[in-house]
Structure 1
Amino acid sequence: MSVSHAKNGPVGWITLERPKAMNALNREMAASITATLTAWQSDPEVRVVVVTGTGPAFCAGADLKQASAPVGPGEPDFMDVLAAFFDTLRAFPKPVIAAVNGLALAGGLETVMACDFVIAARSATFGDAHSNFGVFPGGGGAAILPRKVPANVAKYMLFTGDSLSAEDMKTYGLVSEVVADAELSARAQAIGEKLAQKSPLVLARMKKVANEATDKSTADALRHELLELRNHQRSYDIQEGLRAFAEKRKPQFKGY
């Protein structure tokens, strides 16, 4: 199996395990991750998801050998499967952490950008790389990268195909934290466990508003936030949080 799916307490781990191919995404891997995320969306045991890789690469991109593989009538082609994967990852309602262990190139960078935030090993590198092979991005390389880093940096990465270091990408805002290579898994797990103690309902609502804010005017984004607040005021979790504050104890959130 080229992808493993495991639960470690409240954290669900998705690990790309195709190191000899630099964890390049093939049809089976993308479909497997999509199916797991779909199942975990309604699994109360999974509060947070971490996506990582094994070997020298997080993910070197899509498996181009499958890009032009023929399919039967009415059968989804490779791009359809990849699009479903990226859409599911971006829309996942729970926090998703990218724990980047090595090279994140092309579709690997697009996978990183579909996560909520990034913890990177010090040796990790990030690049778009599509232009190196005359390939056009389809998972957010040109559309999302300029929203994650300054536009001039995004264009440099897109046009040159060059890679930048984890420290550089932290400076530009894509990476939240850089850690020693040996500490990456433990740090991602620790952050996942921290997030799992929060109200899953409030995190889902925060994620929804934050994800949609960049496509709205400030006034519309604020109206959306107030609407979510109105709905949230009817929830068990906000009442439990306020009770716990008054009683000086740790809240026990239930997600509704």
Structure 2
Amino acid sequence: MSIRSDLLVERLDPVLRVTFNRPDTLNALTPEMLHAAADAVEAGGGDPDLRAVVITGAGRAFSSGADLSVRADPSYKGGSGTLDGVNRLVRALREVPKPVLAAVNGPAVGGGCSVALAADVILARESAYFLLAFANVGLMPDGGASVLVPNAIGRARAARIAMLAERVPAPLAADWGLITHVVPDETFDSEVEQLAARLAQGPTVAYAQTKHALNAATLGQLEQAFAIEMAGQTMLTGTADFAEGVAAFLQKRKPGFSGR
């Protein structure tokens, strides 16, 4: 078992469990924790004894998305570190030749939503929800969401939740096909264990080839999406709307966007 202040990595043979571990911030994402998670997943891909990966969050949330509080720090110099980390982790989850289960224990927001949707099997608590909150701070979806989401639920629904930043409750997400499973809160932990065990006992090589084929058929534009999202976010972080969105978020008020 490897423990960081922000990430818990456990090897529960033959399952690797990766847990975002910043419950006081609802597991807000930092570059360091994202790269550490990607390190663990990538290393697991080369382990012949590993049969499945579980990714989840500690406490009440899967992840609240990027940690915007760092932008209030006078030492903040900008940059794309968090997005680099999200992209790397999403890529690792798609490319690792093992089945990946996202155990969505609570809200999956922003980049955290992208990470959850990158899994092969997505099991959520009934009380959980999915939210592309980027528009609320003057940004666009990233982490491959511009490919992951419409490929799951179609362009119209993707535009709706991306532009209106609407929460998608877990039962609705399952109905739409955004996720694979939704279970009652009280049985969530046992369902995660059972489903992880089932995947770990399955035909790992066949799973890897199935995953490769599904990636080729549905996510062939993922790398292009990463590049387009990176360019778009880089431009958007320099806008007045983004500055206003972050200020409003930190001050817990409604933003007043100017379109600039």
Larger Rg: 1
1:202 to 198, 203, 206: 206
2:37 to 29, 33, 37: 33
Checking the alignment, whether the CA contact within 8 Å between 1:12 and 1:49 is kept in structure 2 is yes
Checking the alignment, whether the CA contact within 8 Å between 2:122 and 2:180 is kept in structure 1 is yes
Could you tell me how far apart the structure 2 residues matched to 1:66 and 1:86 are? Answer: 22
1:193 to 192, 197, 216: 197
Checking the alignment, whether the CA contact within 8 Å between 1:15 and 1:51 is kept in structure 2 is yes
Could you tell me how far apart the structure 2 residues matched to 1:104 and 1:79 are? Answer: 16
The CA deviation at 1:180 is 1.7
State the TM-score, normalized to the length of structure 2: 0.76
2:24 to 20, 27, 31: 20
The verdict on how the C-alpha distance between 1:171 and 1:39 changes in structure 2, with shifts beyond 3 A counting, is same
Quick one: which amino acid aligns to residue 30 of structure 2? Answer: N
Checking the alignment, whether the CA contact within 8 Å between 1:118 and 1:177 is kept in structure 2 is yes
Could you tell me how far apart the structure 2 residues matched to 1:81 and 1:215 are? Answer: 19
The CA deviation at 1:76 is 8.0
More divergent stretch after superposition (174-183 vs 124-133): 174-183
After TM superposition, list the pairs within 5 Å mapping 1:90-129 onto structure 2. Answer: 90-129=94-133
Checking the alignment, whether the CA contact within 8 Å between 1:150 and 1:172 is kept in structure 2 is no
Q: Deviations over 1:48-106 (max 9, x none)?
A: 011111222111111234579438xxx98443333222221221111001110111111
Correspondence for 1:244: none
Quick one: which amino acid aligns to residue 214 of structure 1? Answer: T
The verdict on how the C-alpha distance between 1:191 and 1:208 changes in structure 2, with shifts beyond 3 A counting, is same
RMSD, matched Cα: 2.1
Could you tell me how far apart the structure 2 residues matched to 1:81 and 1:165 are? Answer: 26
Aligned length: 213
> Any stretches of 5+ residues in structure 2 without a counterpart?
221-260
Q: Does 1:70 align with 2:59?
A: no
Quick one: which amino acid aligns to residue 89 of structure 2? Answer: F
Q: Does 1:180 align with 2:187?
A: no
The verdict on how the C-alpha distance between 1:191 and 1:148 changes in structure 2, with shifts beyond 3 A counting, is same
State the TM-score, normalized to the length of structure 1: 0.77
User: Alignment partner of 1:110: what SS?
Assistant: helix
The verdict on how the C-alpha distance between 1:108 and 1:79 changes in structure 2, with shifts beyond 3 A counting, is closer
Could you tell me how far apart the structure 2 residues matched to 1:23 and 1:110 are? Answer: 14
Checking the alignment, whether the CA contact within 8 Å between 1:26 and 1:66 is kept in structure 2 is no
